[in-house]
Amino acid sequence: MATYKGIKGVKVVTKTSDPTASEAEGTVWYNTPANALKYSIQGAAAWASGGTLNDARDLMMAAGIQTATIIAGGESTNTNNTEIYDGSSWTEVNNLVSGARYGLSGFGSITAAIAAGGYPPTAGANSTESWDGTSWSEVNNLNTPRYAFGTAIGSPSTAGMAMGGITSPGHGNETANTEDWDGTSWSEQNNMLTARAEATGTGIATAAIACGGSPGSGVSTLTDKVESWNGTSWTEGNNLNTARMDTGTAGTSTLALCFGGRTGEGAHSALNESWNGTSWTEAADLAQGLRSPGGTGSQTAALCSGGSNTAQQATTYEWNDPVYTIKTVTVS
């Protein structure tokens, strides 16, 4: 009769506690306290509920990774509130200093981040603030005031970029303007191929993508177009499968996620698409449709924070790809 050692070349290991599911993938062990033979398998990627925001909101800046994210500002009766996430819960920290606003964007980490732009203009549509891990301070402004724009969210606080957006209240004022941040000031770069608002971006200042958005009249002119930035100029890439605006994004220019958004008036999408550097494929949807959530992290470990449906949400969703599960061998 075949034995496990004969097949695998090793004996079943005895353990007093289970290893982490990902580390144990493909192995079998005997858990002595549980008196059970166990194994770990790889499952499909999925979203799971995370900690709840203290302040429900959408249209905020977000930066960081799945287990260490900072968000600031947003629309929740217009706020300057800042929160940080430690992988399980959100904590309120010092507020933005340039005023309450929404439609701002940012990049960096929970210890060093940049928040730029926003609406209303009186709070500083060209304002830029720098986070040092404790508090915000004003730094050099954007050259082009804007809100509802994208950034390369994977950038460090010393080398980022801003793309597109709206330059003054109302659709019809969309811009194709691109700016680079060098840690001190913003500089004009080559424009996007298509002016658009409420597109989202991910990547870094030398390798980024811009996804979806609206080139002119909000949800009546949604686009599925994706543009790729190489540090000098924009080129068209393969489109999203579903045209939408106000999405969340996470990842790099070659390995990314695009989730949530709006596909029409009042149509809040739960769609999630995965980018491999060449094309988009459908992935597991969010638990609910969300407009303008905060997106941070990577293609395999992302965070979706807040957003709105019929109202601003305080929910957080964590994306893990793949998901590992420990199971017990049963004999019938």
CB of 62 closer than 8 Å to CB of 113: no
Handedness of CA 285, 224, 116, 154 (dihedral sign): positive
Handedness of CA 252, 256, 260, 265 (dihedral sign): positive
**In a shared domain, residues 142 and 280:** yes
Whether residue 193 lies inside any domain: the answer is: yes
**In a shared domain, residues 163 and 185:** yes
CB of 136 closer than 8 Å to CB of 127: no
Q: For position 4, what pLDDT does the model report?
A: 54
CB of 126 closer than 8 Å to CB of 142: yes
**In a shared domain, residues 103 and 172:** yes
Domain holding 232, by residue range, is 46-320
Whether residue 304 lies inside any domain: the answer is: yes
Whether residue 169 lies inside any domain: the answer is: yes
CB of 282 closer than 8 Å to CB of 301: no
User: What are the residues facing 106 on neighbouring strands?
Assistant: 115
**In a shared domain, residues 83 and 171:** yes
Segments of the chain with pLDDT less than 50: none
Handedness of CA 55, 59, 65, 70 (dihedral sign): negative
Q: What is the mean pLDDT of the chain?
A: 93
**In a shared domain, residues 148 and 34:** no
Whether residue 325 lies inside any domain: the answer is: no
**In a shared domain, residues 10 and 92:** no
Whether residue 330 lies inside any domain: the answer is: no
**In a shared domain, residues 14 and 102:** no
Q: For position 236, what pLDDT does the model report?
A: 97
Instruction: For residue 114, report the phi and psi dihedrals to the nearest 5 degrees.
Output: -125, 135
66 — alpha (psi -120 to 50), left (phi > 0) or beta?
Answer: alpha
DSSP designation for 4: H
**In a shared domain, residues 12 and 56:** no
Q: Which two tokens stand for residue 323?
A: 């998901």
Q: Which two tokens stand for residue 34?
A: 């549980």
CB of 326 closer than 8 Å to CB of 40: yes
Q: For position 332, what pLDDT does the model report?
A: 56
Instruction: For residue 301, report the phi and psi dihedrals to the nearest 5 degrees.
Output: -145, 85
Whether residue 331 lies inside any domain: the answer is: no
**In a shared domain, residues 241 and 270:** yes
DSSP designation for 121: G
**In a shared domain, residues 31 and 51:** no
Handedness of CA 231, 233, 239, 242 (dihedral sign): positive
Quote the Cα angle for 96-100-105, to 5°: 70
**In a shared domain, residues 102 and 118:** yes
Enter the pTM of the model: 0.90
222 half-sphere exposure, CB direction, 13 A CA radius: 18
Whether residue 225 lies inside any domain: the answer is: yes
